Every structure is written in structure tokens, then in C-alpha cells.
Amino acid sequence: MATTTNYGWTTPDDTALVKDGAAAIRTLGSSVDTTTKALNPSTTLGDIEYRSSTANTNTRLGIGTTGQVLIVAGGVPSWGSVASNANFTLLNSGGTALSGSATVTVSGISGKDKILVVVDGASSASANQYVNLRLNTDTGANYNQFGYTAYSGSTYSSANDSREISSLTSTSIALAATSNNASSVVGAYVYLEGCNASGVKIFQSAGSASPAGGNAQEPFITGGFYSGSSTISSISITAANSFNGGTVYVYTSA
């Protein structure tokens, strides 16, 4: 018997007898009915179909629930929930003290997409030094930071100014600088995304020093990216000389 090109339905041969016509029509009709149903398996309002692994057969995907969106899971369409906003959890319970060393490292960050680092009251015996952040203790020129600092004295002066930060070869992220008084303390935050994947990680940061009797403050508002390819497993807070106070808090979100 002859068959159709696409679906292989049986049709009468040119030499078939007229008396076989009814049987041929029934055979063809049954084939059309079977194929049509295979291509349209929906049974319920809101169903959709997608191409299955079997030729000329579609798979029914029943309608999802309110608020779900169409996603791909395991190589096929499915219904899933919309990603919620980041829910941060404090990684280092109670924070980690900044004291006795010029570098304090918090580890155990692997597998986290978003990281929020908060530095509270970082202080050192030395004035006029930067408090910095490094990822994975990386001291290479992989930190790209852009923004500005705004210098301000204890009283308004036309000498007060601001300057741009534009560093493509920095070896750390500058959070803020202690002022010209050794008792000044730095407060800052850094927010990073993409930490659980290889490639560029972007960040936003802001910080400032409380003068504690000094004559100047210098707040930082910056952003940029870290070009190191490794996933992030630790953060370090550093200074030129040992810290003598302050706390770092590390919050993570999957």
C-alpha cells in the first residue's frame, strides 16, 4: 500500500479496486485521528504542548499555578517559581574582630552568589592609611575600581575638594582611609555578585572615616569589578599596619 510522505498514512494504490475504497478511507481516517491526537495531547484549559523526543508526538505540559513562570529544567519546559530577592545570612556569627594583625580573613564562602561585607569601626595605630578588601587573598592587579572621594574638613573651606578614583591595576578594593588622626575609625560596606561562578564579579562599595578629633573625613563611593576567574571562597580586610579595633561582618546569599 502507498503511504503519505510526512506521517506515513496508508492510502490506496493506483491499482486498488473500487470495492476497497471504504476500507481505505477508514484506514486513512484512523491514521489521521491518531496523529492529530499525538500532536495535540492537551486535555485542560491552559495546557501547552512541546516537541517530545518521539517523532510526530508532542508532550502535554499542564497549566502551572498562580505566580509560576515557564522555565527550562532538564532540557524541557516546566513551570517554576520566580526567583525571590536575595535573603542574606550572617556567615561569621557575631562578626570577626579586626585586631592584632594587618590582615583578617573570613573563609567558608564557597558556593554563594552574593556577598555583603560590612566593616564597623576599623581602627589602626597609624593615621592616613587605607583599609582595603581582597578576595581569595589575591594580591594581583585584578581589582578595577571607579568612583570618587570627597574631602571635607571640620569646617567648610573652599580648599575642600573631591577627586576621582579610576584604577585598572589595583591590588585590592579601597574601602576608605583613616584621617590624619590615629584614633579615627573606618566604616564601610562592599556588595558583590557572581561570586559562585568563574569570570568577572561586580561590586559596589561605600565607606568613610570618623575623624575622632582629626580635621578631615574622606568618604568613598565606588563600584567596579574583580577580574579574577576563580569562585570566591574568602574575603580579607587589610591595612598597612595592624588593626587595633573594629569588626567585619560577612553576609551571604545563595
**Same structural domain for residues 203 and 240?**
yes
CATH number of the domain residue 237 falls in = 2.60.120
pTM for the full predicted model: 0.65
Bridge-based pairing of strands 58-61 and 48-51 is antiparallel
Domain final residue, candidates 56, 81, 106: 81
- Residue in the block written with cell 573631591: 162
Cα angle 170, 208, 135 (rounded to 5 degrees) comes to 35
- pLDDT above 70 as % of the chain: 81
Whether residue 85 has pLDDT greater than 70: no
Domain final residue, candidates 27, 54, 81: 81
Question: Structural domain of residue 22, as residue ranges?
Answer: 2-81
Instruction: Pull the grid cell for residue 73.
Output: 529544567
Residue 92: its pLDDT value, please? 95
- Name the more confident of 13 and 47: 47
Q: Which residues contact 186 (CB under 8 A, 6 or more apart)?
A: 119, 121, 122, 123, 131, 175, 176, 177, 178, 207, 208, 209, 210, 246
What's the number of domains the chain is made of? 2
Q: Is the dihedral of CA 35, 40, 43, 49 positive or negative?
A: positive
- How far is residue 136's CA from residue 236's CA, in Å, rounded to a whole number? 7
- For residue 101, what are the β-bridge partners? none
**Same structural domain for residues 101 and 215?**
yes
Residue 206: its pLDDT value, please? 94
**Same structural domain for residues 167 and 245?**
yes
Domain final residue, candidates 32, 47, 81: 81
Q: What is the pLDDT of residues 65-80, one digit of tens each?
A: 988 899 898 889 999 8
**Same structural domain for residues 51 and 175?**
no
DSSP output for 111-170? T-SEEEEEEEEEEESSSS-EEEEEETT--SS-EEEEEEEE-EESS--TT--EEEEEEEEE
Element containing residue 81 per DSSP (H, E):
strand 76-81
**Same structural domain for residues 94 and 71?**
no
Identity of residue 53: S
**Same structural domain for residues 174 and 247?**
yes
**Same structural domain for residues 106 and 200?**
yes
**Same structural domain for residues 112 and 178?**
yes
Closest alpha carbon to 117 in 139, 142, 138, 98: 98
Residue 166: its pLDDT value, please? 63
Q: What is the pLDDT of residues 184-236, one digit of tens each?
A: 788 999 999 999 999 899 999 999 887 655 555 678 889 999 999 899 999 99
**Same structural domain for residues 196 and 149?**
yes
**Same structural domain for residues 198 and 100?**
yes
Identity of residue 60: R
Contact 191, 114 (CB under 8 A): yes
**Same structural domain for residues 233 and 130?**
yes
Whether residue 40 has pLDDT greater than 90: no
**Same structural domain for residues 98 and 149?**
yes
Instruction: Pull the grid cell for residue 61.
Output: 505540559
